[in-house]
Amino acid sequence: MKIIAVILSRMGSNRLPGKALLKINNIPAIIYIYKRVLASKSIDDVVIATSNNKQDDSIEELCKKEKILCYRGPEDDVLKRLVLALQKYKANVGVIIYGDCPLIDPNIISQVVNAYKDNIEYYDFVSNDLKTTFPPGMEVEVVSLEALKKANSSIIKPSIREHGTLHIRKNPEIFRLLNVEAPEKYNFPNIEIELDTIEDYSVIDKIARNFTDYNYDLEKILSFLEVNPSICDLNKNIP
């Protein structure tokens, strides 16, 4: 079994254009995510999968500079991009990480991957986002290449394909799904640490500046926010 983490990222965000290269504690967001994912002990490699749109040339250039694997595919057909990225790097299991999750906890990645490996005979897709119990920004999806290829071969709307695994997540009668729920100490679905708006960026950057490495976990993030509640107020009213 070869397990590769695929970080989906592009510059063309509607609400926060160029967020992939926003500096988080003086480091481009996409590199910050990469270093967090790389700290997980449960994956064999990490690839950043961006689009073949010209505006994403800057992501590929940064990956080359940092010697990071990069795959470029269809901008709007994210499902196909995932399949092609995993095939290129000869993986049969993908760990999907979204580019709006710069504070992703390496331990939570390992938790979801291990849940997949422990139940590989029974599930095609294991994630912690079928039901939101972790704080948004901690999403991890683990899926077999075969399940992705099956979804990719289906005739589904472009509006579904652009969301990558959405067809799988919405069809439990076709795909075998398992949701990993947060333990009580992490069960804070209303604490928003996902990078969608400039207010989110302010929260995330303040959190990151409190730490000197990339390996801090969600427990440390929540402890920091508990003693600094005004930081959570910065984006609590943003839809």
Pairing type for strands 27-28 and 23-24 reads antiparallel
Q: pLDDT value at position 189?
A: 96
| Closest CA relative to residue 32, chosen from 2, 11, 62 | 62
pTM for this structure?
0.95
Q: pLDDT value at position 67?
A: 97
| Closest CA relative to residue 51, chosen from 60, 39, 42, 62 | 60
Residue 124 three-state SS? coil
Q: pLDDT value at position 12?
A: 87
Angle at 136 (CA atoms; ends 131, 139), nearest 5 degrees: 70
What does the pLDDT look like over 196-217, one tens digit per residue? 999 999 999 999 999 998 889 9
Task: Give the separation between CA 62 and CA 217, rounded to whole angstroms.
Answer: 26
Q: pLDDT value at position 156?
A: 84
Helix (H) and strand (E) counts for the chain? 10, 9
Residue 182 CA to its chain's centroid (Å): 17
**Other beta carbons within 10 Å of 223:** 12
Write out residues in the chain with pLDDT < 70, as ranges: none
Q: pLDDT value at position 14?
A: 84
What does the pLDDT look like over 108-140, one tens digit per residue? 999 999 999 999 999 999 999 999 999 999 999
Q: Give the burial string for 79-98 (b: 16+ CB within 10 Å, else e).
A: bbbbbbbbeebebebbbbbb
